[in-house]
A = this chain, B = another copy of it.
Amino acid sequence: MLECLVDGEISDRILAADRGLQYGDGVFETLAILGGLPRFWQAHMDRLAAGCEQLGLPVTPQAVLLREVQTVSAGHRNCVVKIIITRGVSGRGYAPGASVKTNRIVCSYAWPVDPGKLIETGIRTRICKLRLGLQPALAGLKHLNRLEQVLARAEWTDKTIHEGILLDAEDHVISAIASNIFLVCGDSLLTPRMDRCGVRGVMRANILKVFKSRCQQRRIMLDMLPEADEVFVCNSVRGIFPVTRIDHWEYSIGPVTREVQQWLSNGISSPSSKG
């Protein structure tokens, strides 16, 4: 961690009574800071506000968050900033007090290195044993209850496997552990619906906007994976990675994946890339 603000003050600690620790009662965003500017700022803020509303949390003013993101990222041309909003402190018990005062934690981290040039060469993945539970009340949100992802990521230690593919309890493909997934089938870009589990990623949302005419959100069954022409995963910080392998299924890196990567590296065509 490079720098951290808790409720606007320089600190790396929160109260143990915070409901973020006690219950995972909150939401978060992880942003790429590139050339000193937060990428997809408005999309992150929109998702954060939607998450807060769904959990009944007061929405923190964007200006406050932007100032704090700028503070923790100052002096770092490229870095990662994580914003956590919790329901703050309450007494014991699930009911929050009468007046909620949210807590915000804004921290910067070093920009992740891609030692293998994986953006170019693609990643190897496996299908996780853990199945995501279906919970429409929390689906799509980037909330703090992430034990499913922790358990799924703990399934392997082989460093040549870079990501895990997550299925839901009915064996639909949902996402990777820390990224969303797209299948390229002919001219179409298919990505799973996020209405029963999973996270509505900001990079995913941008791809859906920019490549709207060719994208479909739909249920994706496991047996569609070996039929796909190309597969890629995406994450608002790390970008777009071709998938070259899922367990024993192999994929070549195709023109559509390269086209989407090209859109991202051009940057300027994004509808919500303004900082």
Residues of A participating in the B interface, judged by any CB pair closer than 8 Å: 1, 4, 6, 11-25, 30, 55-56, 80, 82, 84, 86-87, 91-96, 105, 107, 109, 112, 130-131, 133-135, 137-138, 143-154, 169, 177-178, 197
Contact = CB atoms under 8 A, between A and B. Distances in A.
A142 to B, nearest CB: 12
B21 A84 contact: yes
A144 B19 CA distance: 10
A177 B23 CA distance: 13
A134 B133 contact: yes
Contacts of A25: 146-147, 150
14 contacts: A12-B17, A14-B16, A19-B150, A21-B86, A21-B105, A24-B147, A25-B147, A94-B178, A133-B197, A137-B148, A138-B147, A138-B151, A145-B146, A145-B147
Contacts of A18: 21
Contacts of A14: 13-14, 16, 21
A236 to B, nearest CB: 13
A166 to B, nearest CB: 11
A151 B21 contact: no
A55 B30 CA distance: 25
Nearest to A157: B95
Given A151-B137, A154-B96, A146 B24 contact: yes
Contacts of A11: 16
Given A94-B177, A135-B169, A143-B147, 12 more contacts: A1-B17, A11-B16, A13-B16, A19-B150, A23-B147, A24-B146, A82-B92, A94-B150, A94-B152, A94-B178, A134-B169, A135-B148
